Structure 1
Amino acid sequence: MAFTEPLRNCGDFGPGDYEWLHLLVGDWQLISDLAFGDLVLSFPADYIPSAGSGNGRGMPAPGSPFRVLAHVRPATGPTVFHQDMVGELMPEELTGPLRAAWVGRRIELLRAGGDGPATGAQVKIVPLVRNGRTLALLTVHTGRRSGQVTSLQEVVYREAADALLRMANEGLWPDFSAPTGSRRGAPRVGDGAIRIDADDRVAYVSPNAESALRRLGIDGELVGKRLMDVVPPALGPGVEPDETLAPVLSGRTAWRTEVEGARVSVNFRSVPLRDRSGRLGAVLLCRDVTELRRRDLELVSKDATVREIHHRVKNNLQTVSALLRLQARRMTTDEARHGLEQAMRRVATIAMVHETLSQGFSQNVDFDELIERQFRLAAEVAAPEQSVRTRIIGEFGELPTRLATPLALVINELVTNAVEHGLAGRTGTVTLEASRVPDEEGAGQLLEVVVSDDGAGMGAAVIEESGVGAFRRADVGEGLGMQIVRTLVAGELGGSIHWSPRQGGGTEVTVRARLDDQPGP
């Protein structure tokens, strides 16, 4: 359930209000770290809607407590609430000030008393106002500090946090137009922070930020300078800065960019600060992401290597298949030719799986795309002189790569057997059906695959194979294909296989394979 559910239920607010709160909570770690305090989002437990007008000007009921919707702790200092506050009620002594702040829509600063977890903490109440309506309350809880000298870093950070809180109170932050990126290495306050004034000049550089800039080759006093005057020259001759660099380093755009020097990469994020009167400057967060980018490059290289290996294996298997085909043509007996042709089809099936794996980075395989062509090809090759129809029901979905090869081989053998024996010399249909079912314990999923034909059938015989029993010696009349299927189902797929008469005539074979990583039965 979304934390904004209480707002949705009251009927006073719209989708834009919910989304704005989601953006705020998605980025409020920034304020928590700058303020060195816990942030708590709360909403009245008993809310009186705005008499059906839908203008969002409802009020907390008199004496109503406030329930916590979300909670975040600082990474730069100690927490006030050691237990998660979500779902809890705010301390009773805060009920009156919280209601007053909701109604007045103004920021309030107070100290919480009593014996609760927030005892002795300084509490700042920030009404989150948008379009003249209070959506929720944001409270900043900072622990009591006695006998400790306040550092310049703390002063600068708290001033930036206060600016962002005022922007949140006025509905100016977060900004819907600010882009968000998912690339690894997003800088946080603890990675390094730079305070930019309204004239785009550096007012303060944290020690971690100074270290990151020094790795870029920027040394010396930076206070009073513009970063655009020192960062691009440090990148070296011939390096063209990204077009997003200037607006980020000046703090005028809520954006992220990355600069690369000599074997060094630094990520920058700009958080502009402003109020109703104008621009106040910005907080610039930076992080040395050199090792992250090196690992990303290694992962890309490994992925490319794995894909190339699959591609080469596919080529080698296709060569083996071609050699088997040539050898089959030179055979003088039908039995030998048929055996080599079967071996050729099995090798070609494995090659097709490796071809699919060579075309993607995922650990899973889109098995529907893989098996559709293989299914029809297996039916055509097994009996080129017959008219055999094929039908696919259901979807396999994405399967782990460890299941792709054995399952493709099993289906290939079952389809070949259905055409050669079930539909021997006649026209008919082979159907492939896939579905997912819970296992007997209900703790995981099984893939159920049914291959059926409307041919001669197998009489009243029913064969059930699963587990270790599937490795028994072949019965009279059972060929290599049957042995291959049993071995793969029990060993590689960790499942079971069941032959039975098909209703309406013919035979159906049901294979169940485990989809989790647990060992088979």
Structure 2
Amino acid sequence: MSSLSSLIQRHSTLGDDERAWIVELAKDWQLLTDLACADLVLWVRTTDDDFVAVAQGRPSSAPTLFYRNLLGQRVREQWAEELERGYQEGVAVRSTEPDWFDEIPTQLTVTPVTMRDRGRHQERDERPIAMITRHTNLASGRSVTRQEMTFRECSDDLFGMIEVGDFPDPEAPQISRRGAPRASDGLIRLDTEGIVTFASANALSAMNKLGFGGELEGESLTEVAASLVEGRGRVTVDEALPLVVAGRAPWMTDVEAREVTVTLRAIPLRADGERVGAIVLCRDTTDVRHQQQELITKDATIREIHHRVKNNLQTVAALLRIQARRSRTDEARDSLTQAMRRVSSIAVVHDTLAGGFNQQVDFDDVFTRVMRLITEVSSSDAHVRPEFRGSFGQLPSEYATPLALALTEIVTNAVEHGLDGREGEVLVTAERDDEGLHVNVSDTGVGVEPERIGAGLGTQIVRTLVEGELGGTIAWGRGDEGGTVVSIDIPNRWNRAEPAEGGFDGDESTVVY
């Protein structure tokens, strides 16, 4: 659950659909903030009829007012009246007098967030699901540029759409905001006919790199794009391009020409249900695409390395198996068989890594194959019934290899020593929680003697792997009905640095800009 969704759930009674709508809106929170050239705060209604801030945005296009976070705070008394009025009436409210904040005059604008029912597109809910306050700094002595005026006009259009439930567009496809164009990267404003009425300097620069010469304003962006497609050099486009450059669909596409890649994203603008134009954001993503291609190449190389390592390990295991069969003493045969099994369990991990682009391992699949391997190659005459319950989940490769090797040793001991020559079962249970991974291995064998724990090479290897490489703890004991129970606890260190899913700041972990 994202930080934003958690805050909403903690402070309000909004349902899943309402929370999802707000989360979708917040994906464009920085875009809205930059276009407004103002600080934004998103508020939700509390159970005691107050408002709590759940998201905050600081503009990159203007000086910020709020240097401290407002998240989780209740609305200030100076904003409460306008916020309550906007909520009750379901309309935008703009303060008639300057709103003073830290001795700085500001313009306060309140906008209700309305959610449209996907099945009833022309209807709107009776009450807003959230409220947005815009705090525009009025103290600046500089003159307002044409770009800033256009940004604010686009912002007014978008906030008008938010008020009636037209933004975010419920029918828009899901797009990744990573690497997507921002307002400062380049903005083109189109009228209803697709004619450019404004193009920022960065937008013009991006189009010039693709091969377009001249001014964009007054030109049809569709015709400009067509000239690039028909122009010199290699050009790569997709079928979404005509709709994007015409501003008719909320899509995103890439244009490649002259070894330059420009990403375009269209946001259609509506008023009173009619299309009034569009915003087209553009960004030179040449370096980003090159980096992505390099990552794909490196991922493919890593997969090939894992594949070759797996093949080499299987070759080593095969050589050990051949040598074990030709050994003349039982002790040598057992030692070589154990070494072969250890090598084979490591090969299983590399085989799994070779099948995907990420370095996360589905350890449930790995362990199922390891258990099958152990019971198949076991030198014991026992009729073993292995059983696995629970789930290990996804683990990084650096955890998967030592854990697979440690469990190989533990299960092997249970099969070959605890159940030597007898029928029985080996039960492995795995459970994950916020603290970490908890694994129990129990058998119905003869049970381990306390004085023998740690005496063998296998238990020494297991202790080294669990305590040294995994940073966990391990304990041996006897079960209530006999047999041996081995408990392993591994702290949850592998995902502590991971960002919360769906966050909205630079590192996608919180909801503050």
Shift in alpha-carbon separation, 1:301–1:114, aligned structure 2, 3 A: closer
Between 338-347 and 267-276, report the one with greater CA deviation: 338-347
Shift in alpha-carbon separation, 1:415–1:5, aligned structure 2, 3 A: closer
Alignment equivalent of 1:487, drawn from 437, 457, 464: 464
Q: Do structure 1's residue 453 and structure 2's residue 447 form an aligned pair?
A: no
Paired AA for residue 156 in structure 1: T
Paired AA for residue 317 in structure 1: L
Shift of 1:314: 0.8
Between 241-250 and 163-172, report the one with greater CA deviation: 163-172
Alignment equivalent of 1:421, drawn from 375, 395, 417: 417
Alignment of 1:69-88 (within 5 A): 69-88=54-73
- Match of 2:211? 217
8 Å contact kept, 1:255–1:269: yes
8 Å contact kept, 1:462–1:498: no
Shift of 1:354: 1.2
8 Å contact kept, 2:43–2:54: yes
- The separation in 1 between residues aligned to 2:99 and 2:146, in whole angstroms, is 32
Paired AA for residue 63 in structure 2: P
Alignment equivalent of 2:298, drawn from 302, 308, 318: 302
8 Å contact kept, 1:419–1:430: yes
- The separation in 2 between residues aligned to 1:2 and 1:490, in whole angstroms, is 35
Shift of 1:89: 4.8
8 Å contact kept, 1:252–1:282: yes
Paired AA for residue 445 in structure 2: G
- The separation in 2 between residues aligned to 1:496 and 1:36, in whole angstroms, is 54
8 Å contact kept, 1:40–1:140: yes
- Match of 1:404? 400
8 Å contact kept, 1:36–1:76: yes
- Summarize deviations over 1:73-131 as a string: whole Å, max 9, x none: 21211122333334445454544444555555554443544754485212233344562
- Match of 1:472? none
Shift in alpha-carbon separation, 1:118–1:39, aligned structure 2, 3 A: farther
Secondary structure of the residue aligned to 2:392 is: coil
Alignment of 1:269-418 (within 5 A): 269-276=265-272, 278-383=274-379, 385-418=381-414
- Summarize deviations over 1:321-370 as a string: whole Å, max 9, x none: 22222223333333333332222222222212211121123333222211
- The separation in 2 between residues aligned to 1:490 and 1:18, in whole angstroms, is 43
Shift of 1:145: 4.2
- The separation in 2 between residues aligned to 1:6 and 1:334, in whole angstroms, is 65
Secondary structure of the residue aligned to 2:95 is: strand
- The separation in 2 between residues aligned to 1:208 and 1:320, in whole angstroms, is 58
- Match of 1:441? none
Q: Do structure 1's residue 505 and structure 2's residue 482 form an aligned pair?
A: yes
Shift in alpha-carbon separation, 1:118–1:17, aligned structure 2, 3 A: farther
Gaps of 5+ in 1: 49-64, 439-443, 466-474
Shift of 1:189: 0.5
8 Å contact kept, 1:368–1:395: yes
- Match of 1:57? none
Paired AA for residue 205 in structure 2: S
- The separation in 1 between residues aligned to 2:338 and 2:389, in whole angstroms, is 26
- Match of 2:259? 263
Shift of 1:72: 1.9
TM-score (norm 2): 0.83
Secondary structure of the residue aligned to 1:389 is: strand
Shift in alpha-carbon separation, 1:204–1:314, aligned structure 2, 3 A: same
Structure with the larger RCO, 1 or 2 (CA within 8 Å, 6+ apart): 2
Between 398-407 and 295-304, report the one with greater CA deviation: 398-407
- The separation in 1 between residues aligned to 2:466 and 2:352, in whole angstroms, is 22
- Match of 1:233? 227
- Match of 1:196? 190
Shift in alpha-carbon separation, 1:234–1:352, aligned structure 2, 3 A: same
Shift of 1:206: 0.4
Identity within the alignment, %: 44
- The separation in 2 between residues aligned to 1:100 and 1:423, in whole angstroms, is 75
Between 153-162 and 232-241, report the one with greater CA deviation: 232-241
8 Å contact kept, 2:188–2:199: yes
Shift of 1:279: 2.6
Paired AA for residue 201 in structure 1: I
Paired AA for residue 484 in structure 2: T
Secondary structure of the residue aligned to 1:120 is: strand
Shift of 1:254: 1.5
Between 360-369 and 300-309, report the one with greater CA deviation: 360-369
- The separation in 1 between residues aligned to 2:378 and 2:462, in whole angstroms, is 17
Q: Do structure 1's residue 166 and structure 2's residue 160 form an aligned pair?
A: yes
- The separation in 2 between residues aligned to 1:407 and 1:277, in whole angstroms, is 59
- Match of 1:176? 170
Superposition RMSD on alpha carbons, in Å? 3.2
- Summarize deviations over 1:457-510 as a string: whole Å, max 9, x none: 345x35666xxxxxxxxx5xx4x4344334333432334443333332333333
8 Å contact kept, 1:462–1:500: no
Shift in alpha-carbon separation, 1:47–1:405, aligned structure 2, 3 A: closer
Q: Do structure 1's residue 133 and structure 2's residue 123 form an aligned pair?
A: no
Shift in alpha-carbon separation, 1:124–1:341, aligned structure 2, 3 A: closer
TM-score (norm 1): 0.82
8 Å contact kept, 1:118–1:141: no
Paired AA for residue 449 in structure 1: V
Paired AA for residue 476 in structure 2: W
Task: Give runs of ≥4 in structure 1 deviating > 6 Å.
Answer: 44-48
- Summarize deviations over 1:379-432 as a string: whole Å, max 9, x none: 332236432222223332223322222222222223332333322322222332
- Summarize deviations over 1:26-48 as a string: whole Å, max 9, x none: 32433321221122344667988
Alignment equivalent of 1:208, drawn from 173, 178, 202: 202
- The separation in 2 between residues aligned to 1:46 and 1:423, in whole angstroms, is 61
- The separation in 2 between residues aligned to 1:388 and 1:492, in whole angstroms, is 30
Shift in alpha-carbon separation, 1:423–1:209, aligned structure 2, 3 A: same
